[in-house]
Amino acid sequence: MADFETPELQEYTVVPKLEEGTMAHVKSFTAKPKFQEPLGFPGELVDNWEEAVLTKMDDLRTRYRGFQVFLDSCVKCGACTDKCHYYLGTKDPKNMPVARQDLLRKVYRRYRTFAGKFFGALGIPGFVGAADLDKEVLDDWYSYFHQCSQCRRCSVFCPYGIDTAEISMAAREIMDSVGVGQKYCNEIIGKAQTIGNNLGLPQPALVDTLEGLEEEVEEDTGVAVKFPIDQKGADILLVTPSADFFAEPHVDGLIGYAKVFHEAGASWTMSSHASEAANFGMFIGSYDNMRKLSLRIRKAALDLGVKRIVFGECGHAWRVAYSFLNTLAGPFDFLDQNYPIPQHICEYTHDLIEKDVLKFDKSENDHMTLTFHDSCNVARASNMGDKPGGQIDIPRAVIKAACNNYVDMPVDTIGESTFCCGGGGGLLTDDLMEIRVKGAQPRMEAYKSVVDNHGVTNLAAICAICKAQFTKVLPYYNFGMTDIVSVHQLVGDALILTGSEDDVEAANSDDNNENESE
């Protein structure tokens, strides 16, 4: 199946001894000029690239405080060295967060600090952790900054909050600016900016898919649940990752959202102009591209005249939505201020559960014992509800409302300490399969522990990338590819639709119960 060995799962994650260079060969495909140029990047490596790298680095240092502070503040204490799933899975020391940052920091130190210039002039820049910028360094950047899923686990444990995601975003932006972009991300951003979604699905294809889903659900439940698109005057605009339109188990999540909207009697629509929640502009650290994609959502909301925006299950999309959307595309003064702007589908469903609007037959999910995989961008980069930690509690509350059997994975692998699925941050591409499989090892070990000890059968998630990644990597670790489920798939399966056969049965049995009690 592959030219690398799948790591053997341990009972719990062991910090390995380092082995230099194990992942130096991993290189994601670079973007051709036709994918670079539409995003405003040079098509290929520019002539004076060394100078251009430093110029761009300086530009970012003056625009992003975090970048500057993080470059200066690391004391090399080692707290982060055993926190990255890619280090744990590959043993390559350059996958330790601090070492990954140092690939860039050493260049900053060499050319932009007194210590680096002084010892550099003496010919010993390494004395103060500085190094000359050459092609080898650039190659290392390309390799290792595409082995970071920007999951921020390191930043939780850093005494100064240094976030490697910020460094790797900056590094990717610098590389893009000198003509070295990644094919996967940049091709996708181009599609989303021209067609409206990452998969390049045009409006007729979306309409067709959604009609198919309507038929499927009606056949299944006897209830005409609608999947509206481009419907002007609807109250709610749902923006969801395009994988939800057809990929498994994503589409089951989409069916779940539709059932919830139906049951709530909500007027809602999707948009073909903004048919993508994911925002790959973030992965490449490009404010401009991230903003362009966000403005599509604003435009869709204005054109359709909606009052609310709800986001479907997608991790980094929710980060951009929750943390950045107001900045990038706000102010949203034209929307109904009584609801969070934007709102997560889990918040929406949770609200209805709290208000007792939704009725569940939890036994529908009794064939499963579930655990929840906290997606990194949800757990560590966003929130839900109005209290800290809502992003961790609310999805669990939603699952528990729809399922009887639920067990959490070990505490140091969930919540703010959650392990990335291994495929986030622009790594969900076949040319990075090796790092994806190896990076999934800590999560797979945590999953195995609840499978072995608590009979867990399935893993639920609220992120399109996590779902796609797990579908691919679970089999490498001898789990079933269908172990991964959408949270709203669980909701949709257990939800009793008014007027459905289940509903009628439930009503009848209520009558019977009343009769018996008489």
Residues within window 388-447 making contact with another protein, judged by CB under 8 A: 388-389, 391-392, 416
Is 228 a residue that touches another protein (CB under 8 A)? no
- Pick the piece of the chain touching another protein (CB under 8 A) from 161-169, 174-182, 355-363, 508-516: 161-169
Helices (H), 113-202: 114-121, 135-144, 153-157, 164-177, 183-194
Q: Which is nearer to another protein, 150 or 429 (CB)?
A: 150
Rounded least distance, CB 4 to another protein, Å: 23
Is 66 a residue that touches another protein (CB under 8 A)? yes
Distance (Å, whole) CA 100 – CA 90? 14
Is 246 a residue that touches another protein (CB under 8 A)? no
* Binding-site member from 33, 40, 58, 75 for another protein (CB under 8 A): 75
**Contacts with another protein in 300-319 (CB under 8 A)?**
302
CB atoms within 10 A of CB 175: 25
Hey, which residues does 461 pair with through a beta bridge?
A: 486
Is 63 a residue that touches another protein (CB under 8 A)? yes
Distance (Å, whole) CA 257 – CA 270? 12
How do strand 308-311 and strand 343-344 relate by DSSP bridges? parallel
* Binding-site member from 12, 47, 134, 159 for another protein (CB under 8 A): 159
Q: Look up residue 335 and give its two tokens.
A: 């929307």
Rounded least distance, CB 124 to another protein, Å: 9
Q: Which is nearer to another protein, 42 or 285 (CB)?
A: 285
Nearest to 70 by CA among 207, 172, 184, 168: 168
Strands (E), 26-116: none
Site string for another protein, 367-386 (x = CB under 8 A): ------------xxxxx--x
Is 341 a residue that touches another protein (CB under 8 A)? yes
Q: Which is nearer to another protein, 295 or 507 (CB)?
A: 295
Is 83 a residue that touches another protein (CB under 8 A)? yes
Please give the size of the binding site for another protein, defined by CB under 8 A. Answer: 76
Q: In the chain, what are the helix, strand and coil shares in percent, each to the nearest 5?
A: 55, 5, 40
Is 50 a residue that touches another protein (CB under 8 A)? no
Q: Look up residue 183 and give its two tokens.
A: 């094919």
Q: Which is nearer to another protein, 287 or 360 (CB)?
A: 287
* Binding-site member from 115, 266, 397, 506 for another protein (CB under 8 A): 115
DSSP letters, 457-497, are: -EEEES-HHHHHHHHHHGGGGTS-GGGEEEHHHHHHHHB--
